[in-house]
Amino acid sequence: MKRIVLVRHATAVDVGPKGSDFHRRLKKRGRREAAIMADRIANTLGTPDLIVTSPADRALETARAFAERLGITTESMIVREQLYGGLLPDEFLRIVVELDDAHDTVMVVGHDPSFTEFASYMAPDFKDSIPKAGVVAIDFDAKSWAALAPGEGTVNAFEKPPAVEEQKRIEEDLLERLSAEIRNAVFAVVKTFGVPENQDVVKSVARASARVAKAVRPFAASGTEEAKSVAKGPRRATAKSRAQRRGKSGA
């Protein structure tokens, strides 16, 4: 079986440096989306053998976020210039059929409308639109990428990022849990040095723990329920709350 995992880039700024579309970077929201979605598919789809990405900044950032959180090395990432722009479905397929058969699962990161159109082209049961940071996994009953043909794929998964408010809740929950774990660990250490747990010490440790939590946040699991159990294990503290067509760039 061959599986292609399509990932549309996460939310980016509207205009890059000097009006550039190619150099548009991810917003903070986009970085959060990428982290959440990478953690989610790690528990549902596993780790791809290879990541192929558009060279545009927003796509590269998204691909790197997924690679980091899925434990994929830079050697398992390649850039395809053709993915930036208005690829037609048959042009997209030409890129896919040239993939090395040593890879059974390949993630492709890029832009719409090309990605949504390609998903529908390859899997007739896909009739939706891929949102920013959305993930579509399509399976093919084939031993070789060269054997793939339009209409023969089956949608295995279609994941959408949570709404903005839910993303913020996840972020706040993770920061709170990180801070609580750090605070507990610090108290466990300082007690061995005879430091009293008085009001001044408690406040100092709490402030320091919050700063450290923010600093390490980019390296922590997103806070989805699946990621919490896998990445965090048992914990002592609980949270307060649980472009157009050819010639133009892709969205």
From the list 104, 10, 16, the residue with the least C-alpha distance to 59 is 10
pLDDT at 222: 55
pLDDT at 246: 41
Do both 87 and 9 map to the same domain?
yes
Q: Is residue 241 part of a domain?
A: no
3-state secondary structure of 36: helix
The pLDDT tens digits of the residues spanning 115-149 come to 999 999 999 999 999 999 999 999 999 999 999 99
Do both 209 and 119 map to the same domain?
no
Count Cβ atoms below 10 Å from residue 243 Cβ, excluding itself.
16
Q: Is residue 48 part of a domain?
A: yes
Domain count for the chain:
2
Do both 136 and 173 map to the same domain?
no
pLDDT at 174: 77
Which residue ranges in the chain fall short of pLDDT 70?
A: 164, 167, 218-250
Which one-letter amino acid corresponds to residue 238?
A: T
pLDDT at 87: 93
Do both 137 and 227 map to the same domain?
no
Q: Is residue 237 part of a domain?
A: no
Q: Is residue 63 part of a domain?
A: yes
Range of the domain at 72: 2-159
Do both 144 and 59 map to the same domain?
yes
DSSP 135-202: EEEEEES-S-GGG--TT--EEEEEE-PPPHHHHHHHHHHHHHHHHHHHHHHHHHHHHTTT----HHHH
Cβ density class 57-87: b for 16+ within 10 Å, e for less: bbbbbbbbbbbebbebeeebbebbeebbbbb
